[in-house]
Amino acid sequence: MKIGFIGLGNMGAPMAQNLAAAGHTVTGFDVAGTVPEALSAAASAAEAASGAEVVITMLPNGAILRAVAAEILPAMTKGAVLLDCSTVDVASARAVAAQAAEAGLGALDAPVSGGTGGASAGTLTFMVGGDEAAFATAAPLFDIMGQKAVHCGAAGNGQAAKICNNMILGVTMIATCEAFALADKLGLDRQAMFDVVSTSSGYSWSMNAYCPAPGVGPESPADRDYAPGFAAALMLKDLRLSQQAAEDAEADTPMGAAATALYGQFVEEEGAGDKDFSAMLPRFAGKGRD
């Protein structure tokens, strides 16, 4: 398949390389000018999109997605599919899908879970919104770049699934970190805390698979001084997207709002944006020790 790939950063580059290694012809473009050797380099986003059967984008936010879409949609061949793997606001995803449909193109919003490690290993999970025909076209590419792709329904529903999932993740990680900090102050050993909670009703992914306490549970960023698997700044981005969507949908999400405020303080006032989002534990553990 002939593929255009726009946005070759920490996530996009390994995804594009995996597609090229599988035998697809991949033409790449990034504003930074960095294109992996396995790809053909384009001089512009429109050039990367021209003649491609599928154009994949991995971009920072909805405003940039809208701008790139305005450039590439006129250059794309009718019947081609725009596969956006960025995490953006639902409104932008749906607006771009509508523009693609008007141009005779398919469109999918397909944000990912799995981080840079999953991008390199080809084990990402894709949450996909868009029509069935476009999903069928992209399915072989999902199989190369990831381990699972879930079709969540109409345009924008991939983004909806991603932000709802990450709102749960942000809230449960804060609760897990608060509980460990409380256990410390009550004299409860962290390993004992893990042994109880990980097999009891407090079980969660944040506790069992990504424990924020160093030396407890499976290896996690906590064991690497909180070097990010998923940076706190990215969690804040996703939480803010969830609250924007909640406001637009008139949904009541008080726990999501509280988590957003806490991560906002952690990232923007305490300068921890480049730490893993589980670094909330030493933050809470240090309170009251002055």
pLDDT in tens, 80-103: 999 999 999 999 999 999 999 999
Q: How open is the CA angle 239-127-6, to the nearest 5 degrees? A: 85
Do the Cβ atoms of 94 and 244 come closer than 8 Å? Answer: no
Give 32-65 as a DSSP string.
T----TTSEEPSSHHHHHTT-SEEEE--SSHHHH
Beta strands in the chain (DSSP E): 2-6, 25-29, 40-41, 54-57, 81-84, 106-109, 112-113, 124-130, 146-153
DSSP 268: I
Q: What is the pTM of this model?
A: 0.91
The question of whether 185 is a catalytic residue gets the answer no
Q: What is the pLDDT of residue 288?
A: 57
Report pLDDT for 117. 87
Per-residue buried b or exposed e for 11-41, using 16+ beta carbons within 10 Å of the residue's own CB: bbbbbbbbbbeeebebbbbbeeeebbeebeb
pLDDT in 10s for each residue of the chain, 290 residues = 999 999 999 999 999 999 999 999 999 999 999 999 999 999 999 999 999 999 999 999 999 999 999 999 999 999 999 999 999 999 999 999 999 999 999 999 999 998 888 999 999 999 999 999 999 999 999 999 999 999 999 999 999 999 999 999 999 999 999 999 999 999 999 999 999 999 999 999 999 999 999 999 999 999 999 999 899 999 999 999 999 999 999 999 999 999 999 999 999 999 999 999 999 999 999 875 44
Round the CA-based radius of gyration of the chain to a whole number and report it. Answer: 20
Active-site option among 2, 78, 162, 185: 162
Smallest CA-to-CA distance from 72 within 96, 91, 94, 95 is with 96
